[in-house]
Amino acid sequence: MADSDGRQVDSINHSTEEGVKLQEIVQAKCEGKELTREEKQRLRKEKKQHKKNKKDDRGPPEKEKEKEKASVPAPSKPATQSPAHKAAPVPVNASASESPVAAEKPAKSKAEQRAERRARQDTERASKQGKKEGGQLSASSKPKATPNELQPVVKRLPEHIQVDDPAALKKLAKKLERQQVPLRSDYGYKVSLFSHLHQYSRKNPPTQQISIPATVIHPSIVRLGLQYSQGIIAGSNARSVALLHAFKQVIRDYSTPPNEELSRDLVNKLSPYISFLSQCRPLSASMGNAIKYIKKEISNIPSQCKEEEAKRRLQECIDSYINEKIILASEAISKYAIEKISDGDVILVYGCSSLVNHILCEAFEKQRKFRVIVVDSRPRLEGKEALRRLVKKGIRCTYVLISALSYILPEVSKVFLGAHALLANGYVMSRVGTSQIALVAKAFNVPVLVCCETYKFCERVQTDSFVSNELDDPDDLIVTRNGKTHLENWQTVKSLGLLNLVYDVTPPDFVDLVITDLGMIPCTSVPVVLRVKNVDQ
Amino acid sequence: MELQAVLMAAGGGSRMMDLTYNTPKPLLPVGNRPLIWYPLNLLERVGFEEVIVITTKEVQKALSTDQRLKTDVKMRLDVVCIQEETDMGTADALRHIQQKIKTDILVVSCDLITDVALHEVVDLFRAHNATLSMLMSKVHEFTDTVPGQKGKKKAGEQRDFVGVDVTGKRLLFMANEADLEEGLVFRKSIMRKHPRMLIKTGLLDAHLYCLKRSVVDFLVHNKSVTSIRGELVPYLVRKQFSKMFGVHNKCTSKEEALLQLARERSCWNDHRGDMSEAYHGGKLRCYVHIMEEGMCYRVNTLAAYIEANRVVPKLFEDPPIHPTAVVTERSLVGSDSIIGPYCQISDKTSIKRSNVGTSSTIKEKVKITNSIIMNGVTIEEGCNIQGSVICNNAVIGRGADMKYCLVGSGQCIEPEGENAVVQCSSGYTTHTKTHTLHFCSSVVFVLNPAFCVCVCVHSLAHVCLFFV
């Protein structure tokens, strides 16, 4: 029954998801309900979206997107829709089989494409009827589904987690070529679970193909990109500050070309720089937020503003952003955190978080008596730097590797962790190893406190560390001991892959408190903060 | 703009006067291209669009008239002339063009032939915000016998001691043997900051430096520094560890403050094991990129010149025989030889492992092996030339038999019977009648134009004449 209905509707609308939707709406009509304005709007939007997608190069991810989007509003509908909702899940692995087909698509005509898609969707629908599972949404595409939200936004998968999709790679290559940014090639064998992520080598720097007096890309951006790729500037706060500093120099050296407006042209100028930086090292969440802020500020410059005035204003904006969001925020967080540190505490920290170091140094200055255990892990061994800074201050420290975690946890009274980003579902994204620490601390009933500024809050949602991560240079794992380097020729061993992950996500159940500049909140309040921030802006 | 390129082409070539007393060093042909073409090509390949060339009037004239240079080099050359008589060092030259310098500079010498990936040197300069970044390479031992060198090379030739840290990138120490009296002297501060240092001696300085703008300002204020390589670089390397630079650390501008903040928040350090921050808080840093593989020659001695001529033709995909050269069928030109434009090679000649320059004429039955024939040379029939260098516009008479000789420009070697070995003179032709002069070691006669010599050998005497 559902099939015939769908097919009927299909002949009018040419898409399954709309077919399903209309089917639901037809059902609703039959049951005497009226189509709400919201539903009508949504339907119109679907049609428009679909027309737009027909023009684009259709890859499976986008199709997936539409299906996701269609199935997401479904849960918000009353329960009668649930059978329909169950009928429209999208098995992620279906897309894998479609990708080789998708690659040939541009060659066929539109009518053929439409017919092909219809046939495929029919078979898919048939197979889905047999399945029981519903609503298996891939994490990175879930938009906010709160009732008082505006129309759900179509989220595209970001390029940097689609490396195994040749269509997406082609698109990226085209875009970079247009912006005259060199494309960095991947290096070495990638572990299959992470083959959708980029893996670069430090030996092939991104500047190989850039002309030496860098003309297309501003020299300070080239310098920044190099510093990112070599790890000279590492750490979420440092990267954002350095990025804003480089933008200040770009703005300083910028001059509006004739017949152009600063507010539009400068944003266009920044795009290739941002592409270049993301080729050097994938952007962090804090950098993303900083870039969004800058772009907004630039586009808000009134057109009658003179260039000098506009530049000065932008520089001031950047300065105030850094001052508020980073410097003052860390002061505020220290104030809150110091309340939580009592005399006689044994505090465990992991890796080198600039914020946590700052907190501990402040607490020490305020005469709190505590000692610190620094946990470190290979290959970065960032804990050594944290150790140096704390010991220089005069704090009593112990240094262990993460493998000794369960041995020293009985001594620990609190765990302070830094964060790279806080995701919208309350998960904490931080250096790889953090979730392990949180897990073991939970097992030992040791409170875990995460310190994070609000500008690192991110609207993304992730429940695992696989979907979106960063792969560092695998050669970093190679170590020489006693003159022997065993992994020297790891590339020749076909069955061996080296994996150097950078981030992992910690579920909110393991985190007891998040200390932000707005106060001390539980992990699940992060979406509230995000909503408040959005309303503010 | 990020970097400005400065090409130093005013040097005299004091270590190979035999070749350069008539032709200025930048115009010496290497692989049938003027020597100055190689660094210009390197800069062009990498992406420079403009180069400041500091040179003499003669070279400037050649730059504007030489066909090959004009067509091949697409960059804009801003030629600055200096007088030859004023003995200007490289640092003096920089001071001379101080007005033109608006950003950091990349100084290259005209005698550098290399295929280095220049971004390696410049990346060190960019990433670490270095004051100096330079290029060095492993020294190649020149194995070919060089005309003019009797027996083995003079040993202990002024070694350079270069000290680098464990990563091999940071330059900690540089001294030349000539400046040292008894041994190497290290400051304690260097040892405290970098307890592990690698000292290397077999390195050739490629004379390619990236310098910050502030160094040029420093040169303007300190007029006593004349040479970059000899004085400026060792000074900068020493200054890294001098205490003075710690003083004005309270940087003033907001941008510096931001950079400082970024560095503080970053969890990176360039060294481990002591309590100091990255770079030990030092502002001045010198880096070096040491080339392990690849080609890097500095053509400032005769041996290097010959070696470069040997190696360079392999670099380029130019056809070994220039299309305008006339090579008859009965001649044998080896695959590792190159023939320049407008040459004429006659029958029954055999040319192996040699370079023949522009507009040279080679008559019949000539055998040339392992030699370098420059432009406009005429070689008459029956000559046998081995391991020699024949400079511009020389004329080799019939039947000459030359082994490991060097013929200066414009020389004329009289036609001979068999087995006559040739001497070269300047401005005069020599008469050596049918005599067999056997030279067991390679010998060169170079006669200074200031001296007028006429050599006549009449008897079976083994006569070796040296006039310097």
**pLDDT, tens digit, 9 for 90 and up, residues A439-479:** 999 999 999 999 999 999 988 899 999 999 999 999 999 99
- Could you give the CA distance from residue B70 to residue B67 in angstroms, rounded to a whole number? 5
**Is a pLDDT exceeding 70 seen at residue B417?**
no
- Local confidence band at B418 (pLDDT 50, 70, 90 cut-offs): very low
Answer whether B251 touches A (CB < 8 Å). no
How many Å lie between the alpha carbon of A14 and the closest alpha carbon of chain B? 52
Residue A289 belongs to some domain of the structure: yes
Q: Taking residues A342-359, what's their average pLDDT?
A: 95
CB contact under 8 A, A242 and B255: no
- Could you give the CA distance from residue B277 to residue B281 in angstroms, rounded to a whole number? 6
Q: How far is CA B18 from the centre of its chain?
A: 15
Residues recorded for chain A? 537
- pLDDT value at position B172? 93
Tens of pLDDT along B204-236? 899 999 999 999 999 999 889 888 988 999 999
In this structure, what token pair is assigned to residue B41? 């090509």
Residue A427 belongs to some domain of the structure: yes
Per cent of chain A over pLDDT 90 is 55
- pLDDT value at position B65? 81
Residue A277 belongs to some domain of the structure: yes
Of A301, A326, A351, which residue is a domain's last? A326
Answer whether B290 touches A (CB < 8 Å). no
How many Å lie between the alpha carbon of A376 and the closest alpha carbon of chain B? 13
CB contact under 8 A, A207 and B129: no
Query: With contacts defined as CB-CB under 8 Å, which chain A residues touch B4?
Result: 213
Beta strand ranges found along B143-269 (DSSP E): 160-165, 171-176, 197-200, 203-211
Tens of pLDDT along B260-282? 899 989 999 988 888 888 898 88
CA atoms within 13 A on the CB side of B111: 22
More confident call, B465 vs B34: B34
**Is a pLDDT exceeding 70 seen at residue B2?**
yes
Tens of pLDDT along B237-246? 999 988 764 4
Domains of chain B (ranges, CATH numbers): 3-244+277-308 (3.90.550.10), 319-413 (2.160.10.10)
- pLDDT value at position A57? 53
- Could you give the CA distance from residue B384 to residue B369 in angstroms, rounded to a whole number? 8
- Local confidence band at B184 (pLDDT 50, 70, 90 cut-offs): confident
CB contact under 8 A, B123 and A248: no
Q: Which residues of A touch B (CB under 8 A)?
A: 205, 207-208, 210-215, 219, 222-223, 226-227, 230-235, 237-239, 241-242, 244-245, 248-249, 319, 322, 327, 351-354, 382, 384-386, 388, 391-392
- Whether residue A377 contacts residue A402, with contact meaning beta carbons closer than 8 Å, is answered with yes
Task: State how far the alpha carbon of A48 is from the alpha carbons of A43, A55, A395, B37, in Å.
Answer: 9, 11, 62, 61
Residue A269 burial (C-beta neighbours within 10 Å; 0-12, 13-18, 19+): middle
Question: Which phi and psi (to 5°) does residue A271 adopt?
Answer: -60, -50
Q: Taking residues A394-413, what's their average pLDDT?
A: 95
- pLDDT value at position A371? 96
Answer whether B191 touches A (CB < 8 Å). no
Expressed as residue numbers, the domain containing A404 is 341-465+501-536
Strongest mean pLDDT among A53-62, B3-12, B80-89: B3-12
Mean pLDDT of chain B: 79
Question: Which phi and psi (to 5°) does residue B460 adopt?
Answer: -80, 25
Residue A379 burial (C-beta neighbours within 10 Å; 0-12, 13-18, 19+): middle
- Could you give the CA distance from residue B20 to residue B241 in angstroms, rounded to a whole number? 41
**Is a pLDDT exceeding 60 seen at residue A82?**
no
Task: State how far the alpha carbon of B211 is from the alpha carbons of A489, B122, B131, in Å.
Answer: 38, 10, 6
Q: Taking residues A336-348, what's their average pLDDT?
A: 95
**Is a pLDDT exceeding 60 seen at residue A431?**
yes
Strongest mean pLDDT among A70-79, A176-185, A242-251: A242-251
Tens of pLDDT along B356-401? 888 888 888 888 888 888 888 888 888 888 888 888 888 888 888 8
Answer whether B375 touches A (CB < 8 Å). no
More confident call, B458 vs B34: B34
**Is a pLDDT exceeding 90 seen at residue B355?**
no
Give the CATH number for residue A406: 3.40.50.10470
- Could you give the CA distance from residue A229 to residue A187 in angstroms, rounded to a whole number? 14
- Whether residue B13 contacts residue B19, with contact meaning beta carbons closer than 8 Å, is answered with yes
Per mean pLDDT, which range of A207-211, A477-481, B98-102, B333-337 is the poorest? B333-337
Q: Taking residues B158-175, what's their average pLDDT?
A: 90
Mutation for testing the B interface, residue in A204, A209, A232, A355 having most B CBs under 10 Å: A232
If contacts are CB pairs under 8 Å, which of residues 28-57 in chain B contact chain A? 46-49
Residue A10 belongs to some domain of the structure: no
- pLDDT value at position B309? 87
Beta-carbon contacts of B270 under 8 Å, excluding residues fewer than 6 positions away, are B167, B170, B278, B279
Smallest Cβ distance to A233: which of B117, B126, B262?
B262
CA atoms within 13 A on the CB side of B324: 8
Tens of pLDDT along B427-455? 333 333 333 333 333 334 434 443 333 33
A389 lies in the same domain as A531? yes
Q: Number of H helices and number of E strands within chain B?
A: 11, 32
> Across-strand partners of A520?
A515
**Is a pLDDT exceeding 60 seen at residue A68?**
no
User: Residue B329, Cβ neighbours under 10 Å: how many?
Assistant: 5
- Local confidence band at A141 (pLDDT 50, 70, 90 cut-offs): very low
- Could you give the CA distance from residue B343 to residue B356 in angstroms, rounded to a whole number? 8
Residue A352 burial (C-beta neighbours within 10 Å; 0-12, 13-18, 19+): buried
A439 lies in the same domain as A368? yes
- pLDDT value at position A197? 92
A355 lies in the same domain as A224? no
A423 lies in the same domain as A525? yes
CB contact under 8 A, B126 and A230: no
A287 lies in the same domain as A353? no
Domain count, chain A: 2
**Is a pLDDT exceeding 50 seen at residue A511?**
yes
A295 lies in the same domain as A412? no
Mean pLDDT of chain A: 82
| The amino acid at A378 | R
Q: Taking residues B304-329, what's their average pLDDT?
A: 80
Residue A526 belongs to some domain of the structure: yes
- Could you give the CA distance from residue A355 to residue B20 in angstroms, rounded to a whole number? 65
- Whether residue B348 contacts residue B333, with contact meaning beta carbons closer than 8 Å, is answered with no
- pLDDT value at position A112? 78
Give the CATH number for residue A263: 1.20.120.420
Mutation for testing the B interface, residue in A212, A251, A281 having most B CBs under 10 Å: A212
A438 lies in the same domain as A531? yes
Answer whether B319 touches A (CB < 8 Å). no
How many Å lie between the alpha carbon of B428 and the closest alpha carbon of chain A? 51
Q: Taking residues A175-204, what's their average pLDDT?
A: 91
- Local confidence band at B301 (pLDDT 50, 70, 90 cut-offs): confident
- pLDDT value at position A534? 78
CB contact under 8 A, A213 and B261: no
Query: With contacts defined as CB-CB under 8 Å, which chain A residues touch B259?
Result: 242, 245
CB contact under 8 A, A212 and B2: yes
- pLDDT value at position A311? 93
**Is a pLDDT exceeding 70 seen at residue B41?**
yes
- Local confidence band at A17 (pLDDT 50, 70, 90 cut-offs): low
- Local confidence band at B104 (pLDDT 50, 70, 90 cut-offs): very high
Residue A472 belongs to some domain of the structure: no
Of A294, A326, A358, which residue is a domain's last? A326
- pLDDT value at position B151? 52
A296 lies in the same domain as A400? no
Per mean pLDDT, which range of A27-36, A268-277, B186-195 is the poorest? A27-36
CA dihedral B55, B56, B58, B64 (to 10 degrees): 40
What DSSP designation does B232 have?
Answer: I
Residue A443 belongs to some domain of the structure: yes
- pLDDT value at position A133? 45
Q: Which of A477, A485, A420 is nearest to A202 (CA)?
A: A477
Q: Which of B111, B114, B43, B44 is nearest to B290 (CA)?
A: B114
- Whether residue A270 contacts residue A295, with contact meaning beta carbons closer than 8 Å, is answered with yes
ipTM of the complex: 0.82
Residue A516 belongs to some domain of the structure: yes
- Could you give the CA distance from residue A454 to residue A519 in angstroms, rounded to a whole number? 10
In this structure, what token pair is assigned to residue A66? 């539409």
**Is a pLDDT exceeding 90 seen at residue A368?**
yes
- pLDDT value at position A100? 43
A297 lies in the same domain as A231? yes
Q: Taking residues B23-32, what's their average pLDDT?
A: 85
Tens of pLDDT along B79-98? 888 887 777 888 888 998 99
- Could you give the CA distance from residue B117 to residue B208 in angstroms, rounded to a whole number? 12
A405 lies in the same domain as A442? yes
Of A295, A326, A357, which residue is a domain's last? A326
Question: Which phi and psi (to 5°) does residue A190 adopt?
Answer: -105, 135
A397 lies in the same domain as A449? yes
- pLDDT value at position B149? 61
- Local confidence band at A352 (pLDDT 50, 70, 90 cut-offs): very high
- pLDDT value at position A283? 92
How much is the pTM? Answer: 0.78
Tens of pLDDT along A291-300? 999 999 999 9
- Local confidence band at A72 (pLDDT 50, 70, 90 cut-offs): very low
A352 lies in the same domain as A439? yes
Q: Give the 3-state secondary structure of residue A363.
A: helix
- Local confidence band at B158 (pLDDT 50, 70, 90 cut-offs): confident
**Is a pLDDT exceeding 70 seen at residue B115?**
yes
Q: How far is CA A97 from the centre of its chain?
A: 26
Per cent of chain B over pLDDT 70 is 84
| The amino acid at B260 | Q
Q: Taking residues B49-67, what's their average pLDDT?
A: 85
